[in-house]
Amino acid sequence: MALTVLSFLLLQAGGFFLGLSKTGFGGAAGIITTPLFALAMEPRRAVGMMLPLLLLTDVMALYHYRGRVSFYNVGALLPGMLIGIVLGIPVLNIIPDRLFKQFIGVLALSFGLIQISGWRRQPIVSLRQRPPLWVGIAAGIGAGFASTLAHQGGVLTTMYLLPQNLPNDVFVGTATVIYFAVNSVKLLPYIRLSLIDQETLMIGLITTPGVIVGALTGFLFNKMLTQTQFSQIVLILVFVTGIKLIVSP
C-alpha cells in the first residue's frame, strides 16, 4: 500500500490519540482513533492494523502502572468479558450491528447524564465502595458481548469503573490488564481472518512513532490531572462516544 502525505499524517494523528487514550485514560478516547485510521486505509484493514498497536500500548502501560491495579475489578470483569466474547460470536449475524451500537450509545448517554447531574452536589458520583462481584461479572459479560459485536466494550467497562473513584493510575492500570488479556485473545483469530498480515504490520510500524509520542503524553496527563479532572474528562469522552454510536451510520 502506497501512502500519501495525507495518509501518513492521518496515521500519525490516529496513533497519537490511540497512545494518549490507552495510557492516559484507559482507552476512553478510542472513538477518535478508528475514524482517523479508516480515512487513511480500508476500514477492515485498519482494524487489523490497530490490534498490534493496542498490544504495544498495553505493554507500555502495564510496565508504567505496575503495582497500580485493582485486582478485585480485574477478577470481577475479565471472566465475564471472556464469556461475553463466546456468547457474542454466534449472534454476529443475527443482531444488526447498527442497532446494537445504538443500544450501547443510549446506555453511555444515560450513564453520562446521571453522573453529570451529580456534579452540582459533588465532583463525581461515587459508590465509595467496591460493587458486588455479580455486578462486575454482569458488566464484563456485557462488555465482552459489545466488544464482539460492536467493538465498544470499553464504554461498559468505563461505566463500571468510573463511579468507584479509583485513583487515575489505578483506573488505567486496571483497564490495561483487562484489555491486554482481551486483545491477546483476539490476536490469533485476527491472523486467521487475514486482518493482520505483512502489509498491516508494516503500516503499523510506520504509525508507531505517533503511538509512542501519544503514550508518553498520556502518562504525563494521567499524572498531572486531579482525580476530579480525570473523571470529568473520561465522562465527557464516554458521553461523546454515546452520541457518536447513536448517530453514526
Q: How many helices (H) and strands (E) does the chain have?
A: 10, 0
Q: Between 185 and 212, whose confidence is greater?
A: 212
Sign (positive/negative) of CA torsion 180, 185, 188, 191?
A: negative
pLDDT at 222 over 70: yes
In the chain, % of residues over pLDDT 90: 35
130-158 residues labelled b (16+ CB within 10 A) or e (exposed): ebeeeebbbbbbbbbbbbbbbebbbbbbb
Q: Between 99 and 208, whose confidence is greater?
A: 208
Task: Round the CA-based radius of gyration of the chain to a whole number and report it.
Answer: 17
CA distance 206 to 227: 34
pLDDT at 8 over 50: yes
Helical spans, DSSP H, in 65-197: 71-88, 97-117, 133-150, 153-161, 168-192
Lowest mean pLDDT among 76-80, 96-100, 161-165, 220-224: 96-100
pLDDT digits (tens, 9 = 90+) for 48-90: 898 899 999 999 999 999 999 999 999 999 999 999 888 877 7
Domain ranges, ordered by start, for the chain: 5-247
Please state the pTM of the whole predicted model. 0.81
- Grid cell, residue 159, equals 461505566
- What pLDDT does residue 124 have? 41
- What pLDDT does residue 151 have? 62
Question: Which DSSP helix (H) or strand (E) runs through 242?
Answer: helix 227-247
Name the band, by pLDDT with cuts 50, 70 and 90, for residue 198. very high
- Grid cell, residue 175, equals 483497564
pLDDT at 125 over 60: no
